[in-house]
Amino acid sequence: MSHHPTDDVRLSFHGADRAVTGSCHLLDVPGHRILVDCGMYQGEHDLARDNAAPFGFDPASIDWVLLTHAHLDHCGRLPLLYKRGFRGEIIATGATRELARLVMLDAAHLHEEEAGRRSRRSARRGGKPVEALYTALDALNTLDTFGRVAEYEAPLRLAEGLTVTYRDAGHILGSAMIEVELHHPHRRRLLFSGDLGGPGHPILRDPAMPTPVDDVVMESTYGDRDHRALKESVEELYGAVGDTIARGGNVLIPSFALERTQELLYFLRRGIEQDRLPRSLPVFLDSPMAISATEVFRRHPECYDAEAAVLFANGGDPFRLPGLQLTRTPEQSMALNRFRGGAVIIAGSGMCTGGRIRHHLRHNLWRASCGVIFVGFAAPRTLARAIVDGAREVHIFGEAVQVRARVYTINGFSAHAGRTALLAWHEHTGRARTFLVHGDPDRGMNSLAAALKSRGVAVTCPEPGSSVVLS
Ligand code: ZN
């Protein structure tokens, strides 16, 4: 696809269209091309082919990438964009830049491992080596293209008559919604919501409310439902931890490294301070990625909400518990097998598809005294989903393991706004023309579209690869 030479302002959709992952939206303005996010497709199927497919535009023609936040499904294809010729400037908040570094390097490492495995298999059949989607070097080169650091609410001038403003999206540390203001060929304001957080979560501020715009590209993940109140979920967490410790077992919490882990540490610390949990409770954070991400959180108090900021300013650390131990090395992780009971172990991956949690499940899942607490989404056909759905036996590392531990599923910790909050947020756009992305059509997307249409809003749920001229 060549760069269109007209004076049109054109919006095209190259990811997270009628789907929840792979966010990638292209905005063509006269003389310039702007990409908003470049995320990985993730999910139950092998999406390697989708991720490796052509972008649908020439990466070398992109002037700027505006990155909303550091989740893999928003930044995970940036190193591929670089590999295929992108040499423009990536603009993100300071916290997003640091978290995206962790996320992209981790992904590159997994791609290299996967390519190595497939190459060895191929070699045994006399075939050719398999190339990694991208390597750690591609990720490092991509980091060099991160340019200006966006500060919340401070307009950045990209070119004559072209300004962008990042505003807090309250989703994960550093997350932003991005407003683009154009003065040529006509004055026009567009808003990309990124992923929107729910109100009332600790550490982060609530999402900023938009001001009226002409067009909005908006996420719709939970457009069909509201989450259970966070307060109830925190009570459930304290109950599950307390009961398991009282039974003499270990508590396992499979968790995502960004945000969810820090939120858990925050609530565990508060539970100990409020004497809801034993003061000496040993808590192991057994994930190098989550440990690094927690360090990034500590370096960015400018992103905190009022409560966390006061705590931090008074010398407190929102993530430090008396019994917290960070286990970075595999040896430290394996040493945790000695604990027969009384410990909380937080480890990735959140859906138990990989990572250290699988070792801990093998050692604890068959013991009735133990507890496993699920605090996040479990996709179909994952180990997490099998356990949540009540499997009596699962296979871990090729070995049958009985599920006798008590399983707790706590639903209120979502980093996404629910339906009521999404509708309230949209209200502030002034009935802007709306493009819904980042949602499952059968769930959040169509439901939110219907609600917005009933309020007189013009709504589209774009097809993958489609584009529209804005005028
Ligand atoms: Zn996200």
- Residue 4, domain member (yes or no): no
Give CA torsion, residues 210, 306, 148, 54, to 10 deg. -60
Distance 69 CA to ligand 1 centre (A): 7
What's the gap in Å between 19 CA and the centre of ligand 1? 13
* 329 Cα–ligand 1 center, Å: 28
β-strand partners of 407: 372
Q: How far does the centroid of ligand 1 lie from the alpha carbon of residue 15, in Å?
A: 14
Dihedral angle over CA of 337, 339, 344, 350, nearest 10? 10
The answer to whether 342 and 248 have CB atoms below 8 angstroms apart is yes
Taking each continuous run of H as one helix and of E as one strand, the counts in the chain are 14, 22
User: What's the structural domain count of the chain?
Assistant: 2
| Tokens encoding 203 | 């550490």
Distance from Cα 24 to the centre of ligand 1, integer Å: 13
Q: Are residues 293 and 156 in the same domain?
A: no
Distance 74 CA to ligand 1 centre (A): 7
Distance 338 CA to ligand 1 centre (A): 36
pLDDT of residue 101: 97
Task: Report yes or no on 19 lying in a domain.
Answer: yes
Shared domain for 149 and 27, answered yes or no, is yes
Q: How many CB atoms lie within 10 A of CB 47?
A: 15
Q: How far is the CA of 18 from the centre of ligand 1 (A)?
A: 16
Question: Which of 213, 236, 169, 223 lies closest to 433, judged by CA?
Answer: 213
Q: Are residues 326 and 204 in the same domain?
A: no
Q: Rounded to the nearest whole angstrom, what is the distance from the C-alpha of residue 259 to the centroid of ligand 1? A: 10
Residues 218 and 250 grouped into a single domain: no
- The residue type at 170: G
**pLDDT digit string (tens) for 292-302?**
999 999 999 99
Strand, coil or helix: 252 = strand
Residue 155 covered by a domain: yes
Domain CATH code at residue 340: 3.40.50.10890
Neighbouring-strand partners of residue 89: 64
Percent of the chain at pLDDT > 90 equals: 84
Query: Does 335 lie in the same domain as 446?
Result: no
The CA-based diameter of the chain, rounded to the nearest angstrom, is: 70
CA of 120 to the centre of ligand 1 (A): 34
Q: Does some domain include residue 1? A: no
pLDDT for 376 equals 86
Is 131 inside any structural domain?
yes
Which of these three, 394, 409, 424, is where a domain ends? 409
> Domain holding 424: CATH number?
3.60.15.10
The pair of structure tokens assigned to 19 is: 């789907």
Q: How far away, in angstroms, is 43 Cα from ligand 1 center?
A: 14
Distance 93 CA to ligand 1 centre (A): 15
* Domain hosting residue 183, numbered range: 10-225+415-469
Give yes or no: residues 207 and 239 share one domain.
no
> Which H/E stretch holds residue 245?
helix 230-247
- Cα of 81 vs centre of ligand 1, distance in Å, is 20
Ligand 1 center–CA 175 separation, angstroms: 8
User: How far, in Å, is the centroid of ligand 1 from the Cα of 137?
Assistant: 25
Q: What is the pTM of this model?
A: 0.93
Give which of 47, 46, 37, 39 is closest to 21, Cα–Cα.
39
Give me the tens of pLDDT residue by residue for the chain, a chain 471 residues long.
445 557 889 999 999 999 888 999 999 999 999 999 999 998 766 678 889 999 999 999 999 999 999 999 999 999 999 999 999 999 999 999 999 999 999 999 999 998 999 999 999 999 999 999 999 999 999 999 999 999 999 999 999 999 999 999 999 999 999 999 999 878 999 999 999 999 888 899 999 999 999 999 999 999 999 988 899 999 999 999 999 999 999 999 999 888 899 999 999 999 999 999 999 999 999 999 999 999 999 999 999 999 999 988 888 888 989 999 999 999 999 999 998 899 999 999 888 988 899 999 999 999 999 999 999 878 778 899 999 999 999 999 999 999 999 999 998 888 899 999 999 999 999 999 999 999 989 889 999 999 999 999 999 999 999 999 997
C-alpha torsion angle, residues 262, 265, 266, 272 (rounded to 10) = 180
Q: What is the dihedral of CA 64, 65, 68, 72, to 10 degrees?
A: -170
The per-residue pLDDT for 186 is 84
In a domain, 210, yes or no: yes
C-alpha 16 – ligand 1 centre gap (Å): 12
Task: Assess whether 155 and 297 both reside in one domain.
Answer: no
Q: How far is the CA of 68 from the centre of ligand 1 (A)?
A: 9
Ligand 1: distance of its center to the CA of 34 in Å? 20
- Within 13 A of 63's CA, how many CA atoms are on the CB side? 12
Position 3 in a domain: no
Beta strand spans in 226-379 (E)? 251-254, 283-285, 324-326, 344-347, 371-374
Distance (angstroms) between ligand 1 centre and the Cα of 194 equals: 8
Per the structure block, which two tokens stand in for 337?
């097998």
Residue 460 falls within a domain, yes or no?
yes
Whole-number pLDDT of residue 415? 86
- Please name the helix (run of DSSP H) or strand (run of DSSP E) that holds residue 331, with its range, or none: helix 330-335
- Sign of the alpha-carbon dihedral angle for 100, 264, 224, 431: negative
User: Domain check: are 273 and 199 in the same one?
Assistant: no
Q: Which of 409, 438, 458 is the last residue of a domain?
A: 409
User: In angstroms, what is the span from residue 258 Cα to ligand 1's centroid?
Assistant: 10
Ligand 1 centroid, distance to 439 Cα (angstroms): 12
Q: Ligand 1 centroid vs 71 CA: distance in angstroms?
A: 5
**25 CA distance to ligand 1 centroid (A)?**
15
Measure 65 CA to ligand 1 centroid, in angstroms. Answer: 17
Spacing, Cα 195 to ligand 1 middle (Å): 5
Ligand 1 centroid to residue 193 C-alpha, Å: 11
**Alpha carbon of 276 to ligand 1 centroid (Å):** 31
Q: Are residues 296 and 385 in the same domain?
A: yes
Q: Which of 375, 409, 443 is the last residue of a domain?
A: 409
Q: Are 458 and 364 part of one and the same domain?
A: no
Q: Same domain, yes or no, for 127 and 21?
A: yes
**Are both 215 and 316 inside the same structural domain?**
no
For residue 314, report the distance from its CA to the centre of ligand 1, in Å: 30
CA pair distance 129, 223, nearest whole angstrom: 44
